[in-house]
Amino acid sequence: METKHNETATAHEWDEMRAQWAVLNRKLSNEPLVDDRHIRESMGKRTDWIGDKVRLDRAFAPLISAMLIGFYYVNIISLGLLIFTLVVATLSSIIDHRIYIAKYRTLFDKDLITVSHELLRIKKMQQAEFFWNLIILLIFIVWFGYDTSSHQATRSLNDWMPWIFGGAVSVFYAWRRHKKVQHTNDNILRQIKELTEGETSQHASTDNL
């Protein structure tokens, strides 16, 4: 009788321990094992240069616009090119602010999984923006070169060389900035993947205890 009583008591104790482990596991599964607030703040600081770069580029916009208006008044470029450039520059400034400044400003207020999903969407928007900017830039270069050389009776390759060179430099600058932004995005996505996979592994090991 005493042996049977001891076995019953031991089984009851094991049941209580398993119940306590289950409660502990549920609490752990509902609590992040790592406080990612400081991590997200650090990630946000790593993207600050993107907004600063866009603001710096935007600071030159009034000067470039004034130059183009001056070119128009001395009959170097056409009214069509002037209007095209000013409209495109305005739209580009609005889009750049949205996907390079506004999006990053609130991105890291969310949890890491949401940050990862949002950042992937931002990358796609930036890639599309770069593609269309490249096409618009090439149109501008060809149009500008045509207008500035239209007063000449004949056009040789030498007449186009300054605009070809300027276009190549502009395209390289735009490509370089785009690649640097994407490199920053990819590094953050890689870090988020490592952190979230590590946290998932910790939860899995806790559940197996």
Q: What is the pLDDT of residue 41?
A: 84
d(CA 76, CA 150): 9
- 97 lies in the same domain as 6: no
d(CA 201, CA 107): 26
Q: Give the SS3 label for residue 133.
A: helix
Residue 58 tokens read as 């935007």
- 26 lies in the same domain as 42: no
Cβ neighbors of 105 (< 8 A, separation 6 or more) are 51
- 148 lies in the same domain as 202: yes
- 146 lies in the same domain as 186: yes
d(CA 55, CA 93): 10
Q: Is 154 exposed, middle or buried (0-12, 13-18, 19+ CB in 10 A)?
A: exposed
Q: What is the pLDDT of residue 94?
A: 92
Number of domains in the chain: 2
Q: What is the pLDDT of residue 141?
A: 83
CB 44 within 8 A of CB 91: no
Which residue ranges in the chain fall short of pLDDT 70?
1-14, 17-18, 21-36, 150-160, 163, 198-209
Distances from the Cα of 209 to the Cαs of 20, 89, 150, 203, in angstroms? 12, 60, 80, 10
The model scores a pTM over 0.95: no
- 105 lies in the same domain as 184: yes
Q: What is the pLDDT of residue 33?
A: 47
- Residue 97 lies in domain: 36-207
Q: How far apart are the two ends of the chain, measured CA to CA in Å?
A: 34
- 102 lies in the same domain as 201: yes
d(CA 167, CA 149): 16
- 42 lies in the same domain as 3: no
- 6 lies in the same domain as 92: no
Q: What is the pLDDT of residue 166?
A: 76
- 161 lies in the same domain as 143: yes
Q: What is the pLDDT of residue 204?
A: 45
Residue 129 tokens read as 């923006």
- 140 lies in the same domain as 40: yes
- 21 lies in the same domain as 51: no
- 17 lies in the same domain as 100: no
Q: What is the pLDDT of residue 16?
A: 74
* Nearest by Cα to 174 from 119, 122, 126, 121: 126
CB 61 within 8 A of CB 93: yes
Q: Which amino acid is at 61?
A: A
